[in-house]
Amino acid sequence: MRYNCGMKKPLSLQPASTRMEQRAAACRKLPAEQQALHYYFNGNSKADFCTSVAAGHPHALALALDILAAEHWLQPRDSTRYARGIRAALRTAGAAQLLAPAQQKIHFAIEWRHLVRLSLRAYHTKPGPRQQRAHRRLPGQRQLMLRLFNSAEQPPLSPADWPPVTPPAALLQKALRNGLLTPTLAEQLTTCSDELLMVLYHYPESLLPPGYSTSTPALPGDALCYHLSEWAHDCIDWRIAPLSELSNRLGITIATDGRFCRIKDEWGNTWAKAARAPEEQKARLRER
């Protein structure tokens, strides 16, 4: 069976949220130590519930699909732990073809949403343990989509889907030390103002330190970069993406390691500069 990966979220996911909200209301009347078991596992232990899901028992499958489709957690701090076990059991049932066609469509929507979330986290959030974890898990999620749903398509993410991030103050200071920015520009870039963006769009050379040229230094296309631009009307902020996805966007691009900066203006000009490698910097200091 093949699904259209560009499908909208099925309407059947909304009733799941309603049912889980009703379940949560009922669970709050129980003693605190019993709430989670009734909410997630219908009063069973986690192991017994997941075994029932993996075996394709109808009531367990319905509840598992509701839990993952609704993403409505009674105990947020435990949500990942609960979801992981239920998701694994549901995937086992899906691989064994124990889901009805309607259930399989919901399962596809759940896994597709998980793929989109991992893609955004891996390529459009700031570097760190969470981003690296998503990057490691993404290939496995793609393989699972292929195995369960015969779908090898990638999420059609647009720049509008990328989450905005706070101005990278520490990175701007690093780029300043690497000679990629002037002190004034490094300070201005923390404000995300439309006045600054207009200057960057129209005559960025007036803001740049020496050493910029119109020849772009070689850099891997998958290098993560911060990018300041106007993403929609009156929406000026920083976002993160691989360099290859920023090639045609106006604005300023700075690699997340602070070793590369590029500005693309409204006239199609590209102004770029790469920081010297540490060995080259040490050699120059020795020459002095």
pLDDT score of 5 more than 60 = no
**pLDDT value of residue 216:** 67
Q: Is 164 helix (H, G, I), strand (E, B) or coil?
A: coil
What integer best gives the mean pLDDT of the chain?
87
Strands 260-264 and 251-255: antiparallel
Which of these ranges, 8-22, 27-41, 249-263, 265-279, has the smallest mean pLDDT? 8-22
Alpha-carbon span 217 to 124, nearest angstrom: 23
Confidence of residue 277 (pLDDT cuts 50, 70, 90): low
CA 97 from centroid of its chain's CA atoms? 30
**Higher confidence at residue 7 or residue 201?**
201
End-to-end alpha carbon distance in the chain: 68
| Band of residue 12 on the pLDDT scale cut at 50, 70, 90 | low
Q: Report the pLDDT value the prediction gives residue 2, as an integer from 0 to 100.
A: 36
Neighbour-count burial of 256, counting CB atoms closer than 10 A to its CB (0-12 exposed, 13-18 middle, 19+ buried): middle
**pLDDT tens for each residue of 73-130:** 767 677 777 888 999 999 999 999 999 999 999 999 999 999 999 999 999 999 999 9
Share of the chain above pLDDT 90, in %: 58
Does 268 score more than 90 pLDDT? no
pLDDT grade for 247, boundaries at 50, 70 and 90 = confident
**Closest Cα to residue 104, out of 30, 7, 18?**
7
Which residues are CB-contacts of 94 (< 8 A; sequence separation ≥ 6)? 104, 107, 148
Determine the average pLDDT of the residues in 32-39: 85
> pLDDT tens digits, residue range 143-200?
999 999 999 888 888 898 999 999 999 999 999 999 999 999 999 999 888 899 999 9
| CA dist 137 → 106, 115, 144 (Å) | 22, 10, 11
What is the model's pLDDT at position 96? 96
pLDDT at 3: 39
Position 278 scores a pLDDT of: 54
